[in-house]
Amino acid sequence: MELEIIKFIQSFNNNILDNFAQGVTMLGEQYFYFLFLVIVFWHIDKKFGYKLGFILISNGIINGAIKDIVKATRPIGVEGVRSLRIETATGNSFPSGHSQGAAAFWFLLMRDFKKRWLYILGPILMISVGLSRIYLGVHWPKDVAAGLVIGIAWVYIGGKMFDYSIKKNNKHILLLFIVPSLIGLLLFKSSDYLKAAAIAMGFYIGYVIEDKYIQFEEEAAPRIQILKFLIGVVGLLVIMVYFKKLLPKGNISDFVRYSSLGIWITAGAPFIFTWVLSFSEEEKSEEIIQ
C-alpha cells in the first residue's frame, strides 16, 4: 500500500515539481535550521535561541536513536520508485528526519509565538516537507507520519523541560537529556546520532559559559550586526571545513568538530561579539569627546 502511495504521488512528476520538491525539502535540512538559529541567537533573541537550539538538537538525537533501533530500509532502489536528492537520505528510513525536524521547528514557533500567520504557514510547510520526501522517493509514508508526530510530541516534552530549567534557574536539568544521549554513543553507531550528540554537548557547555561569564547583547547597530554575522559564519566555516582537513578521519574527530561547533555558536562567537561591541562603544566615546 505504501509503495502504491509513493507511485501515485510520483505519477504527477515533471521538471517543475521535481525542482519545487527539492527546494521544499531543503527547508527540512540542517543548513536551514543552523542559519535560522544563529540569526535568532546572535541578533534577535538569545533566550529563545537557546530553547530553539535545545529542541532542534535533541530532536535530532531522538531521530538518530530511533533510526538505529528500527533500522528500516528506504524505498531507494525499489522497483517503480524514482529517487531524487538521495544525498540528503542519510542513515536509515524510519522516522523521517526532515519531517521530524520541520514539525519540531514550526510547531515550536507556533506554540511560543501564537501568531495567526504561523498557524497557517507552519502546518503547510510541515506537511509540504513530508510530502516532498515521499515525492523524491527517499521515504515511505509511515516514515513521514511518524516524523511529524514525534517532532510535535518532542516540542511538548522538551519544551517543558527547557522551560522548567529556566523557571528553576538550573541549567543542570538539561543534563537529564544530554548525559543519556552521550551514553547512547555506546549503543548507536550512526554518524547522524554522533554529530547530534556532539553538538548537544558543545551547545550545553557554551550555554553555561556564556550565561555565567559572557552575557553578550543581541542588539547592536546595523553595521555591527553585519560584522557579527560575518565573524560568526567564518568561525562556522573554519570549524566545518578546516577542522575536517586538519583532524584525522574518524568518530573522535567528528565528535570534536561538532562539539566545537556547538561551543562556537553559544560561547565562542558571542565572546568575540562582546569585544567588537566594546570596541565600537570606545570609538563612539572618542568621537563624542572630539
Tens digit of pLDDT for each residue in 125-175? Answer: 999 999 999 999 999 999 999 999 999 999 999 999 999 999 999 999 999
Instruction: Band the pLDDT of 279: cuts 50, 70, 90.
Output: low
Asked if residues 22 and 133 have their Cβ atoms less than 8 Å apart, the reply is: no
pLDDT at 249: 86
Predicted model pTM = 0.91
Q: Give 58-69 pLDDT, tens digit per residue.
A: 999 999 999 999
pLDDT of 280 reads 57
Q: What is the pLDDT of residue 281?
A: 54
For residues 280 and 57, give the distance between their C-alpha atoms in angstroms, rounded to a whole number: 33
The reported pLDDT for the residue numbered 268 is 95
- What's the whole-number average pLDDT of the chain? 91
Q: Specify whether the CB–CB gap between 50 and 41 falls below 8 A.
A: yes
Do residues 53 and 266 lie in contact, with contact meaning Cβ atoms separated by under 8 Å? yes
- For 55-81, what is the mean pLDDT? 93
pLDDT at 278 over 80: no
Q: Sign of torsion, CA 10 150 123 56?
A: negative
> pLDDT digits over 211-262, tens only?
999 999 898 889 889 999 999 999 999 998 888 888 888 888 999 999 999 9
- Does pLDDT of 282 surpass 60? no
pLDDT of residue 59: 96
Place 80 in a pLDDT band, splitting at 50, 70 and 90.
confident
**pLDDT tens by residue, 122-133:** 999 999 999 999
Residue range 170-195: mean pLDDT, rounded:
93
Give pLDDT, residue 88. Answer: 82
Which pLDDT value is given to residue 228?
A: 92
- Contacts for 186-189: CB closer than 8 Å, 24+ residues apart: 187/68, 188/64, 188/65, 188/68, 188/69, 189/68
Q: Give the tens place of pLDDT for each residue, 86-126.
A: 888 888 999 999 999 999 999 999 999 999 999 999 999 99
In the chain, where the domains are located: 2-289
Which cell is 28 given? 527540512
